[in-house]
A and B are shown apart, each in its own frame.
Chain A
Amino acid sequence: MSFIEKINPLQLDILKEIGNIGAGNAATALSTILNRKIDMNVPNVRIVSFDEMMEMAGGADHVVASVFLRIEGDASGSMFFILSLPVAEYLIRKMIGDESFLINSVPYTELALSCLQELGNILSGSYLSSLSDFTRLNIYPSVPSLSIDMVGATISYGLLELSQVSDAAIVIDIVLEKDQLFADSINGHFFLLPDPEFFDIIFSALGV
């Protein structure tokens, strides 16, 4: 039996609650940056196969902007902040104050890329600090890395540690949204992909 099947409903609920608190903090951070109200919907915590995960993000060769970082410290894992291109474009325009910015103009400008990276940094930082407060574990993010490419190509990177023990992942999926903010309905996704030992560490820290 793989470790993922050993997770019980109570533990899954706790992961969901961690997701909720983290998402709240991340939404607040994003609202502050953009000076707009940002909502989050109830996060999904699901055990999915790698293939299903790609589908959740729009299909393996769907092009997205993703900020990837490693979670380090007492517990480790990977984290992705995934944005559809129109949403990424919108966020960059707001942050650099240039309404004429187009995301499709390759090569991407340094400033635009660093904007997204910083956004990923702030959001995942606020998420991880709540996880850290909650569990009293020392958890911190690595320097974020950005890629505008196919979902399959980027996410598989975060699955490497996990793929050594399992073909399924627990995905804490948080959707950030703001009414009528984005033209398309695909908003921002957070994927938290814990390394195999992550759960033991988190659950024993919480005493469950």
Chain B
Amino acid sequence: MNIIKPSYTIRTTGLGSCVGVVIYDKKKEIAGLAHIMLPDSSLAKSGQINVAKFADTAIKELVQILVKEGARMQFLKAKLAGGAQMFQFASGGDLMRIGPRNVEAVRKELSDLRIRVVAEDVGGNSGRTIEFNLNNCLLNIRTVTKGTKNI
């Protein structure tokens, strides 16, 4: 989890079932990225949790940091990518469909915070590398088999 100001880009590589969430305020020129690994911090079994990896904790934390750094809550927008199903298992337990669950959790968290999702590229079964450019607020997505695109 990290934030950027002009004129940088921020990226995360090799997203599979994880979800990359970019939250930004275009006018104030500030953006942040969280790399969500699991949907819910209640899944954590040990005492100390790493807030950066759960949808419910990471997004709140990221928004707090952004607002502290000058972003305005009501103008925040989000773009997300990831949540793929990399492997198909016949005997899939709940953890095996973690990609879709991560996406659901991220969407719910954003909607609770009244942050609009303006673009997304989720699901499927390919890994993604994403890079957000603050200059044009476009999220570049690269996959191995489908090439690159901007959303």
Contact between A164 and B14, CB atoms less than 8 A apart: no
- Cα distance A106–B144 in the bound complex, in angstroms: 10
Chain A contact residues (Cβ within 8 angstroms of B): what range?
A: 20 to 34
Residues of A within 8 A of B87 (CB): 68, 145, 147, 154, 157
Contact between B14 and A156, CB atoms less than 8 A apart: yes
Contacts A106-B145, A145-B88, A145-B89; is A153 near B46 (CB within 8 Å)? no
- Cα distance A205–B7 in the bound complex, in angstroms: 57
B63 within 8 A of A: no
B23 within 8 A of A: no
Type the 1/0 row for B80-118, where 1 means its CB is closer than 8 Å to any CB of A: 000010111111000100100000000000000000000
Residues of A within 8 A of B127 (CB): 61, 149-150, 152-154
Residues of A within 8 A of B18 (CB): 156
- Interface SS, A side: mixed
Contact between A167 and B50, CB atoms less than 8 A apart: yes
Contacts A145-B88, A154-B16; is A160 near B95 (CB within 8 Å)? yes
A15 within 8 A of B: no
Chain A residue at minimal CB-CB distance from B88: A145
Tally B residues with Cβ within 8 Å of A.
Answer: 31
Contact between B144 and A149, CB atoms less than 8 A apart: yes
B37 within 8 A of A: yes
Type the 1/0 row for A156-179, where 1 means its CB is closer than 8 Å to any CB of B: 110111011111000000000000
Contacts A152-B127, A154-B127, A160-B98; is A60 near B46 (CB within 8 Å)? no
Residues of A within 8 A of B86 (CB): 147, 149, 153-154, 157
Contact between B38 and A164, CB atoms less than 8 A apart: yes
A73 within 8 A of B: no
Checking A68, A150, A164, A165 against B129 with a beta-carbon cut-off of 8 angstroms, the contacting residue is A150
5 A-B pairs, CB-CB below 8 angstroms?
A145-B88, A149-B144, A156-B16, A156-B17, A157-B86
Q: Which residues of B contact A (CB under 8 A)?
A: 13-18, 37-38, 43-46, 50, 53, 84, 86-91, 95, 98, 125-129, 142, 144-145
Q: Which residues of A contact B (CB under 8 A)?
A: 2, 54, 59-61, 63, 68, 70, 106, 142-143, 145, 147-154, 156-157, 159-161, 163-167, 196
Instruction: List 14 additional contacts besides A149-B126, A157-B98, A165-B45; criterion CB under 8 Å.
Output: A63-B144, A142-B89, A150-B127, A153-B128, A154-B16, A156-B17, A156-B18, A156-B37, A157-B86, A163-B37, A163-B38, A165-B46, A167-B50, A196-B45
